Structure 1
Amino acid sequence: MVSIPRVVIAAPASGHGKTTVATGVMAALASRGTRVAPFKVGPDYIDPGYHTLAAGRPGRNLDPFLCGEELIAPLFEHGSADADIAIVEGVMGLFDGQLGTGGFASTAHVARLIDAPVLLVVDARHTSRSVGALVLGMASFDPAIRIAGVVLNQVGSPRHEAEIRDSLVPLGVPVLGVLPRNLDIEAPSRHLGLVPAAERDDAGIQAMGAVVAEHLDLDELRRIAGMAGPLAATPWDPAAVVTPPSDLRPVVAVAGGRAFTFRYPETDELLRAAGCLPVTFDPMTDTALPEGTAGLWIGGGFPEMHATDLAGNASLREAVREAVADGMPTVAECAGLLYLCRQLDGHPMVGALPHTSAMTARLTMGYRSATTGRDTLLGRVGETVTGHEFHRTHCEAGDPPAWLLDGRPDGVASTTLHASYLHVHWAGHPQLAQRFADAVHAFAVRPAAPDLLHHGDRDIAPGLVDLAVNVRQPATPAWLVEAIVRDADWAAYPDPAPARAAIARHHGVDEAMVLPVAGAAEAFTLVARALEGTSLVVHPQFTEPEAALLAAGRTPTRHVLAAADGFRLDPARVPAADLIVVGNPTNPTGVLHRAEDLLALDSGILVVDEAFGDTIPGEPETLIAPHMAGRLVLRSLTKTWALAGLRVGYVVGDPTLIARLAAQQAPWSVSTPAVAATVACLADGRRLDADRLAREGAAARADLVARLTEVGLHPVPGQAPFVLVDTAAIAAGSLREPLASRGFAVRRGETFPGLGPTWLRLAARDPHTHAGLIAALLDIKEDACNEN
């Protein structure tokens, strides 16, 4: 039970001057040494900014729609701790609340919830004696509301004042102050209301305080505030609703400065209670994110007013883009959504989202109930969140959207990103703060970001047995070398037509569906350049697709398959995207996904990397077919036929998409030897050879899996001629160097997104080589046991 003097400053309607009076009262009292707790009814961010400057402590919001009725008194008590008096500025007219609810979330509603008297501010510019009737009506409309005093604003003369005072005498409502016209202390406005306090100096606030001190009876105001009795409520405690996921204190970079001024103070308090360290950065001036950043929180504001400065800070924009692309947990509200877009009013922004945004003439404003059709960083299916929308810009919703606002899609979201126009008060929905904090803590302890340009050939060295590179044969077959050297006309410019015809004939498709390429690396570069829109890469996966997208200025989302699920693809869990890239069988897991699961992915364009498709007997689950609308399949001849030095591959798919890739391809990128190799490898007489090599590879894999299983390891079930295995049972760290010291080169798992250093990818070779590998692993295990 706490009793703090408190008063609500309200008005019959917007525009009567309650912000000027409330802010002035706070500043005047604070200048006298009074500890003032400032509050604002409703979702507004701008007025609390003025309150913060005036009172010297955070301005807070009291909104039953955003937080629920039951939290208003606890939040009020929390914000009033150690204060001498609480000043609460109302919203709109005294009884104006959510439409159609009988005044829910109105100033009067909040005044009842905190049992506070009301000081009514009335603009008298166009009236005189009618003020009495107005005040009488306001005072009698709801008997639970106590109008304890009136402040007359914009009074024109002493006679004007006297006429109004005379009308109020029968009511017994005292006049606490009279503000004459043309005081020039009102805050300037623009398209969304007042200019934020962060864009002004303290001089205007102090001027408000000086005028209020001169024209209002502050002692009488304090007496009225003291009329409020004890409030039976327990102060809200952020530590009671969120929990630190770990002992770490990961940094959450919180956007601030002049362009990003909208944030409820309880957001920072919840993050701190959840074990995070909010650190403010200014996207207009800071050239890098705070050191140790593991999460991003970019709230509302006016980026459209500062678009030139935001665009000019290219280094920070790039840092944010890379952080989002890297999967750093990111929450962006309204202005934050615009900042993450590719453009705002024609100015370049971060580009983490492919959308463009722009100012419009239409104001979008109102309370919203938000749901989601799939689990995201913040949202959960079946859960409803309340919030507020307030903007004049437009940005198309993504797929999947962050929220369905009363059924309308808004923003874009994934498991690591949540960007929306909706402002949410996290005190009313602390589960959102907990989910974000959980993701931030997890990101802080994840292994270092993998080198997307790392390939297995970097792990081999002279004298080491090569288990790192997945080329199936130790040397190019003699017949293939002869075809390349003898049959190819090296003096002529390359002509890919024979290769195109051979590929089409081999797969039974039209030649318009085929594009020869200089290996998968070129194919992924063409895809990244030619196919626009949102992109998603399913990991663990060959890293070249993501590297190519990043090099093209794209920001792909990562969907990481779980080891606990055997790295199996569940299409229902994969977010939608305009472009989805997935391997099959996937490198490095070796898992062969079902064709029906691949086709069930919610993608505008599906790109399947079947570089190892010809290494599996019968080539099951391939998506190559006579008709391939909306999909592309990448193939490589490198693995089976030992052609890594020539870079020989091709794309089969939708002829419209093939044409778009071809338009991006450099002239003569597929060399004459590569054309000759393609024709030779896909000749009808080589099908039996390819099938034999695939069966040999399957047998080699089975042998390696059996040997690894015998020593207590559990290889990932797969069908490619390589094996992914977690070696944590042998040692806590990477075995790459211990194995190298024993003569074996392996591909380390941490070079793939979604895997840690104890994972190894091992090329399947022959039983003798496998036996030597197992002996080396047992030797390493014994050494580890002796050390312990």
Structure 2
Amino acid sequence: MMGKIVHGGGITAAARQYGGRPEDWLDLSTGINPNPVALPEVPVSAWHRLPDQHLQERTREAARGYYRSGDILPLPVPGTQSVIQLLPRLVPGGSVAILSPTYGEYARAFTLANQKVRQLSTMDDLTEDDRLVVVVNPNNPDGRRLSIGQLRDLHERQYRRGGLLLVDEAFGDVEPEASIAPYAASMPGLIIFRSFGKFFGMAGLRLGFVIAQASVIARFEDWLGPWAVSGPALSIAASLMNGDTGAIRRRILDRHFALETILRRGGLSVAGGTALFALVADDHAEDIYTHLCRHHILVRKFDYARNWLRFGLAPDEEGDRRLAGVLESDDFRSVRPKI
């Protein structure tokens, strides 16, 4: 059986190992907006009642406008992780090709379902047997991007063979112009997963959306069962998606610029990333990770790429100074003697 995947966000475990209170750590291990937006007012009825149809419809209309999905009403789901685990039901036969390395839960879901998984570094290695192709775009953790043209070509290839294409746009909100969602209504066999919590800084809400043709959405809806998403989550999403998100994007981009500046000043090489994180490649990655933990700063390391570290965004200038102070210190230079 495939073991559990270690994700970012493990502050409690890190504090137990390296000391300090979890709330005093600087958590740079996730790809979540570190500045959650202000909560809109949530009607008491959203807490009191099961999610009524009108609330579902309001949220789906808001998501249609936000994702620009045209004739498709996106389906709210309790986090995209919930539908990743349902994917083996969607393609019970044939192999699954995953453009890798990427978010590990895709391979894990199919492996646990005893389905054939092929992790590919290029789409040139696709075969006739690949019933489903999974592309995370932009990719986690290296930020690899396929253009809309490349995705359309890939979809056409899959469609001709009776296959499906899944595009995970969990980190796509900062660059809406790169989303394939506006074309989804005319692309049967295309499935898009979107994350709500990363961009809005509300991962604890556990909310995502599926964009696909009605027959596919109906299957996910049936598998999830009634009331899969809470009334408060639906209400919050509808309000925020109908609002102006320009200031959120600008703040994220400012935070990202600050992060890359600090990393480069500290002598680290930025190998990729998205607006919500930066990927560092360094032969001393393990030592850097440990050194940062000793200073109660958590970043994300990878068991499949020992020279990679992923740095999320600090919430403010104080966090920037804290990270910079460690990276520019004499004891950090002793960790990386080649600097």
Answer yes or no: is 1:783 the counterpart of 2:334: yes
Give the corresponding residue for 1:667: 226
Give the corresponding residue for 1:455: 7
TM-superposed CA distance for 1:583, in Å, is: 0.9
Give the corresponding residue for 1:680: 239
Contact 1:735–1:758 (CA under 8 A) maintained in structure 2: no
State the SS of the aligned residue for 2:236. helix
Contact 1:529–1:664 (CA under 8 A) maintained in structure 2: no
Please tell me the residue identity of whatever aligns with 1:542. Y
Structure number with greater Rg is: 1
Please tell me the residue identity of whatever aligns with 2:5. L
Please tell me the residue identity of whatever aligns with 1:757. R
Residues 287-436 of structure 1 mapped to structure 2, 5 A cutoff: none
Contact 2:288–2:335 (CA under 8 A) maintained in structure 1: no
Give the corresponding residue for 2:302: 749
State the SS of the aligned residue for 1:516. strand
Give the corresponding residue for 1:707: 262
Distance 1:494 1:735, change over 3 A: farther
Please tell me the residue identity of whatever aligns with 1:592. R
TM-superposed CA distance for 1:733, in Å, is: 2.9
State the SS of the aligned residue for 1:694. helix
Distance 1:498 1:747, change over 3 A: same
Give the corresponding residue for 2:178: 621
TM-superposed CA distance for 1:743, in Å, is: 2.0
Aligned with 1:774 (options 289, 305, 324) = 324
Contact 1:536–1:559 (CA under 8 A) maintained in structure 2: yes
Give the corresponding residue for 2:57: 497
Please tell me the residue identity of whatever aligns with 2:326. A
Distance 1:476 1:548, change over 3 A: farther
Distance 1:620 1:571, change over 3 A: farther
Answer yes or no: is 1:537 the counterpart of 2:90: no
Please tell me the residue identity of whatever aligns with 2:133. I
Higher strand share: 1
Contact 2:144–2:272 (CA under 8 A) maintained in structure 1: yes
Distance 1:476 1:732, change over 3 A: closer
Distance 1:633 1:644, change over 3 A: same
Contact 1:488–1:673 (CA under 8 A) maintained in structure 2: yes
Please tell me the residue identity of whatever aligns with 1:663. D
RMSD: 2.7
Answer yes or no: is 1:733 the counterpart of 2:286: yes
Question: 1:642-687 CA distances to partner (integer Å, 9 max, x unpaired)?
Answer: 222221111112223222322322222111122212211221xx1x
Answer yes or no: is 1:583 the counterpart of 2:136: yes
Sequence identity of aligned pairs in percent?
Answer: 25
Higher helix share: 2
Distance 1:709 1:785, change over 3 A: closer
Please tell me the residue identity of whatever aligns with 1:623. I
TM-superposed CA distance for 1:714, in Å, is: 1.9
Contact 2:60–2:73 (CA under 8 A) maintained in structure 1: no
Please tell me the residue identity of whatever aligns with 2:209. Y
TM-superposed CA distance for 1:707, in Å, is: 2.7
Greater RCO structure (CA 8 Å; 6+ sep): 2
Distance (whole Å) between structure 2 residues aligned to residue 535 and residue 785 of structure 1: 40
Aligned with 2:147 (options 562, 572, 594) = 594
* Structure 2 unaligned residues grouped into runs of 5+: 16-21
Please tell me the residue identity of whatever aligns with 2:82. E
Distance (whole Å) between structure 1 residues aligned to residue 218 and residue 336 of structure 2: 59
Distance (whole Å) between structure 1 residues aligned to residue 73 and residue 336 of structure 2: 57
Give the corresponding residue for 2:111: 550
Distance (whole Å) between structure 2 residues aligned to residue 528 and residue 614 of structure 1: 27
Give the corresponding residue for 1:527: 87
Q: TM-score, normalised by structure 1?
A: 0.37
Distance 1:771 1:727, change over 3 A: farther
TM-superposed CA distance for 1:467, in Å, is: 0.4
Q: Runs of 4+ in structure 1 displaced over 4 angstroms?
A: 510-513, 573-576
Distance 1:469 1:719, change over 3 A: closer
Give the corresponding residue for 1:643: 202
TM-superposed CA distance for 1:759, in Å, is: 1.0
Distance (whole Å) between structure 2 residues aligned to residue 540 and residue 649 of structure 1: 22
Distance (whole Å) between structure 2 residues aligned to residue 716 and residue 588 of structure 1: 10
State the SS of the aligned residue for 2:49. coil
Distance (whole Å) between structure 2 residues aligned to residue 470 and residue 551 of structure 1: 26
Distance (whole Å) between structure 2 residues aligned to residue 557 and residue 628 of structure 1: 24
Q: How many positions carry a matched residue from both structures?
A: 315
Distance 1:529 1:663, change over 3 A: same
State the SS of the aligned residue for 1:613. coil
Question: 1:185-220 CA distances to partner (integer Å, 9 max, x unpaired)?
Answer: xxxxxxxxxxxxxxxxxxxxxxxxxxxxxxxxxxxx
Give the corresponding residue for 2:19: none
Give the corresponding residue for 1:370: none
Give the corresponding residue for 1:559: 120
TM-superposed CA distance for 1:459, in Å, is: 4.3
Aligned with 1:478 (options 12, 25, 39) = 39
* Structure 1 unaligned residues grouped into runs of 5+: 1-317, 323-450, 561-569
Aligned with 1:758 (options 285, 299, 307) = 307
State the SS of the aligned residue for 2:76. strand
State the SS of the aligned residue for 1:678. helix
Residues 112-123 of structure 1 mapped to structure 2, 5 A cutoff: none
Distance (whole Å) between structure 2 residues aligned to residue 572 and residue 579 of structure 1: 15
Aligned with 2:123 (options 571, 580, 586) = 571
Distance (whole Å) between structure 2 residues aligned to residue 513 and residue 598 of structure 1: 21
Question: 1:243-268 CA distances to partner (integer Å, 9 max, x unpaired)?
Answer: xxxxxxxxxxxxxxxxxxxxxxxxxx
Q: TM-score, normalised by structure 2?
A: 0.82
TM-superposed CA distance for 1:494, in Å, is: 5.0
TM-superposed CA distance for 1:725, in Å, is: 0.6
Distance (whole Å) between structure 2 residues aligned to residue 523 and residue 465 of structure 1: 31
After superposing the two structures, state which structure 1 stretch, 673-682 or 589-598, moved more. Answer: 589-598
Question: 1:13-60 CA distances to partner (integer Å, 9 max, x unpaired)?
Answer: xxxxxxxxxxxxxxxxxxxxxxxxxxxxxxxxxxxxxxxxxxxxxxxx
Residues 276-291 of structure 1 mapped to structure 2, 5 A cutoff: none
Distance (whole Å) between structure 1 residues aligned to residue 336 and residue 98 of structure 2: 39
Distance (whole Å) between structure 2 residues aligned to residue 713 and residue 553 of structure 1: 40
TM-superposed CA distance for 1:761, in Å, is: 0.7
TM-superposed CA distance for 1:594, in Å, is: 1.3
Distance 1:571 1:538, change over 3 A: closer
Distance 1:645 1:785, change over 3 A: closer
Distance 1:734 1:579, change over 3 A: farther
Question: 1:272-303 CA distances to partner (integer Å, 9 max, x unpaired)?
Answer: xxxxxxxxxxxxxxxxxxxxxxxxxxxxxxxx
Contact 1:632–1:652 (CA under 8 A) maintained in structure 2: yes
TM-superposed CA distance for 1:489, in Å, is: 4.8
Contact 1:494–1:671 (CA under 8 A) maintained in structure 2: no
Contact 1:584–1:609 (CA under 8 A) maintained in structure 2: yes
Distance (whole Å) between structure 2 residues aligned to residue 732 and residue 473 of structure 1: 23
